[in-house]
């Protein structure tokens, strides 16, 4: 290390700053090097501690040094920075080189539920919704890049209806919504193209892509500093290391992600009722037994924020947690996720080889969590599940009509409030573990699906305006054809208090009839199949019809009132 020598031309702190910076940039002070304490360093340089602190702070501001409380000051790890004066859209970049920018929309999804890192980065709760836009960006007709955008849908309603193929997204946001992009966090790294990406970009599959991840912010809302960094991967290691896995424990998120598995079970159950396909009943039994594995895998992946490693851990933990039912499966998966996250970080810090990291973080965490559930938790988890089933049965036995009424009245607030998938759906599955159908499953079909179908049907037959009919048709078809997508009723419920209240009232009526007829059924199946899967076909048909007709009549009446009110205003 070169000696520090003073001169009389510039302030001392600037001379010290320049001398230290030179040592860091030239590599004489290696990344991670701990600097001597302030008293020692100031004495070695022959300067005051105040002058030294001034120079150190300048280097910290430059990102060349960093402090750790109680440990000292260290040389920052090397990274290549570059500065941009402002965020530039693809259209602006192409115009600058004399080319015409266009786009081809590859994927467009509305009303996506924000989860995981996306929810955290966009500052969205699970009650809010995102818009996803995937576009192939072209310059003079030639593929240049593949763009995937997520945006808070509340900031720009109907953005998906704009001309996204011929206009800049930044321009649309600024001119039509008054939203100017001003800040952003950007990271760049090289990645190998996937088969799909290579096909769209017309390159070889083995080719490398420059992967850019940018979190942008609006000058009107947030002030996120703009710190572009090249070479700092946003991949597994950095994301995992900075996250707190305990914050990722989200029962609603686990159940929601597992929903396709539940629907496949319901489909098999429905098919098994066809005489020629009765052998599928055995398949349904296998799927019920495997449900804890599905939940364990989802839980492990969401909690750990890892990919293949967490899947392996979840499978191992899930298989060993089968005897604990769905409660045991979730606990095993959560434990595997927490352990795999911890072991993954520790193994990296200890510089284990990649294969060893995967074995320890995936295999060992799954075994420890799974064996803990198998020997210690499974008996209690199974008893807890049985207790919940028993309580439901006792409540229904005490007063089936009141139990059905309360369940019906609460089911819409539960799904809108975000607690349905965390509280009610697990209970439905606990009931189905024993008999293949459930009391709350029947209330779900009658109070949610049929009520949503009634609301959407009313807006097809007697809409407030023609545009609402076009929105309602797909929702009604999905309600009836698949027994899902009750969110189709949201636009009509949230825009009219009478419709909202009518939905809750209709669900209460339907739930009361479920209790009256002692119905046990299931949801997530085509509506016309649901009665065939219940223990009371006629009773279920009556309850379903009541929920649909009640919500239909109330919604039609509400629409008529709104229409008459608008007519009076015009007159």
pLDDT for the residue 354: 66
Inter-axis angle of helices 280-304 and 308-320, nearest 10:
130
Q: Other CB atoms closer than 10 Å to residue 108's CB: what's the count?
A: 14
Tokens of 343: 């072991």
CB contact at 8 A, 534 and 431? no
Neighbours of 46 (CB within 10 A): 9
Tokens (6 digits) for 111: 């009303």
Q: Per the CATH hierarchy, to which homologous superfamily does domain 90-234 belong?
A: Chorismate lyase-like (3.40.1410.10)
Return the higher-pLDDT residue of 65 and 244: 65
More confident residue, 383 or 546: 546
Give the three-state DSSP class for 235.
coil
Answer yes or no: is pLDDT of 87 > 70. no
**Which pLDDT score is estimated for 240?**
46
Q: Where in the chain is the domain with CATH 3.40.1410.10?
A: 90-234
For 401-423, write each residue's pLDDT tens digit.
999 999 999 999 888 776 776 66
Average confidence (pLDDT) over 60-64: 77
Q: Residues 101, 168: contact at Cβ < 8 Å?
A: yes
Please state, in angstroms and as integers, the Cα–Cα distance from residue 448 to each residue in 263, 282, 410, following that order: 16, 29, 11
Predicted confidence at residue 491, as pLDDT, reads 83
Q: pLDDT tens, 91-135? A: 777 776 778 888 999 999 888 887 777 777 777 776 778 889 999
What is the C-alpha to C-alpha distance for residues 135 and 147, in angstroms, rounded to an integer? 5
Tens of pLDDT, residue by residue over 29-46, are 888 888 888 888 888 888
Q: Which residues does residue 148 pair with via DSSP β-bridges, in sequence order?
A: 134
Helix (H) / strand (E) element for 176: namely helix 169-177
User: From the CA atom positions of the chain, what is the Rg in Å?
Assistant: 30
* More confident: 176 or 519: 519
* CA atoms 221, 222, 226, 232: torsion sign: negative
Considering the chain, tell me which residue range(s) the CATH 1.10.10.10 domain(s) occupy: 12-78
Residues 327, 333, 336: CA angle, nearest 5 degrees = 140
Determine the pLDDT at residue 23.
82
Could you give the 3-state DSSP secondary structure of residue 523? coil
Q: Is the pLDDT of residue 569 over 70?
A: no
- H or E segment and range at residue 538: helix 537-570
The CA–CA distances, whole Å, from 162 to 108, 109, 473 equal 12, 14, 22
> Does CATH number 1.10.300.10 belong to domain 12-78?
no
């Amino acid at each position: 290390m070169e000696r520090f020598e003073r001169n009389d031309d510039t302030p001392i702190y600037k001379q010290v700053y320049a001398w230290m910076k030179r040592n860091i940039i030239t590599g004489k002070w290696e990344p991670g090097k701990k600097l001597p304490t302030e008293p020692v360093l100031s004495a070695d340089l022959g300067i005051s501690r105040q002058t030294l602190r001034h120079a150190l702070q300048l280097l910290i501001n430059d990102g060349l040094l960093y402090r750790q409380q109680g440990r000292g000051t260290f040389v920052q790890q090397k990274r290549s920075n570059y500065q941009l004066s402002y965020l530039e859209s693809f259209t602006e970049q192409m115009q600058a080189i004399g080319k015409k920018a266009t786009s081809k929309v590859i994927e467009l999804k509305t009303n996506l539920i924000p989860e995981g890192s996306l929810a955290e980065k966009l500052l969205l709760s699970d009650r809010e919704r995102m818009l996803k836009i995937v576009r192939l960006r072209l310059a003079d007709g030639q593929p240049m890049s593949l763009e995937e955008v997520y945006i808070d849908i509340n900031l720009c309603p109907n953005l998906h209806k704009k001309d996204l193929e011929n206009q800049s997204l930044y321009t649309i946001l600024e001119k039509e919504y008054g939203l100017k992009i001003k800040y952003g966090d950007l990271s760049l790294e090289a990645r190998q193209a996937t088969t799909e990406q290579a096909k769209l970009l017309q390159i070889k599959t083995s080719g490398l892509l420059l992967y850019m991840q940018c979190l942008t912010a609006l000058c009107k809302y947030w002030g996120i500093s703009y710190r572009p960094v090249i070479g700092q991967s946003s991949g597994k290691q950095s994301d995992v290391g900075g996250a707190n896995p305990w914050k990722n424990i989200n029962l609603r998120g686990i159940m929601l992600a597992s929903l396709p598995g539940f629907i496949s079970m319901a489909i098999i159950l429905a098919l098994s009722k066809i005489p020629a396909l009765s052998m599928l009943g055995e398949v349904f039994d296998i799927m019920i037994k495997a449900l804890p594995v599905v939940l364990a895998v989802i839980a492990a992946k969401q909690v750990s924020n890892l990919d293949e490693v967490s899947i392996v851990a979840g499978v191992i933990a899930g298989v060993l947690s089968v005897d604990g039912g769905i409660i045991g499966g979730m606990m095993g998966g959560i434990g595997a996720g927490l352990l795999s996250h911890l072991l993954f970080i520790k193994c990296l810090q200890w510089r284990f080889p990649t294969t060893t990291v995967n074995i320890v973080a995936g295999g060992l965490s799954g075994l420890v969590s799974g064996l803990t559930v198998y020997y210690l938790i499974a008996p209690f988890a199974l008893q807890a599940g049985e207790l919940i089933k028993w309580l439901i049965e006792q409540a229904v036995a005490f007063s089936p009509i009141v139990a059905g009424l309360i369940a019906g009245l609460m089911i819409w607030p539960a799904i809108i409030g975000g607690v349905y998938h965390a509280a009610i759906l697990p209970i439905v599955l606990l009931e189905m573990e024993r008999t293949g159908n459930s009391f709350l499953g029947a209330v779900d079909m009658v109070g949610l699906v049929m009520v949503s179908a009634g609301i959407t049907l009313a807006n097809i037959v007697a809409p407030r305006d023609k545009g609402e009919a076009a929105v309602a048709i797909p929702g009604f078809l999905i309600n009836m054809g698949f027994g899902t997508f009750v969110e189709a009723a949201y636009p009509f419920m949230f825009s009219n208090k009478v419709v909202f209240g009518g939905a809750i009232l209709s669900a209460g009526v339907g739930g009361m009839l479920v209790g009256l007829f002692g119905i046990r059924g299931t949801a997530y199946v085509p509506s016309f199949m649901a009665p065939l899967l219940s223990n009371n076909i006629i009773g279920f048909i009556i309850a379903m019809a009541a929920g649909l007709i009640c919500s239909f009549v109330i919604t039609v009446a509400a629409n008529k009132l709104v229409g008459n009110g608008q007519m009076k205003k015009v007159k």
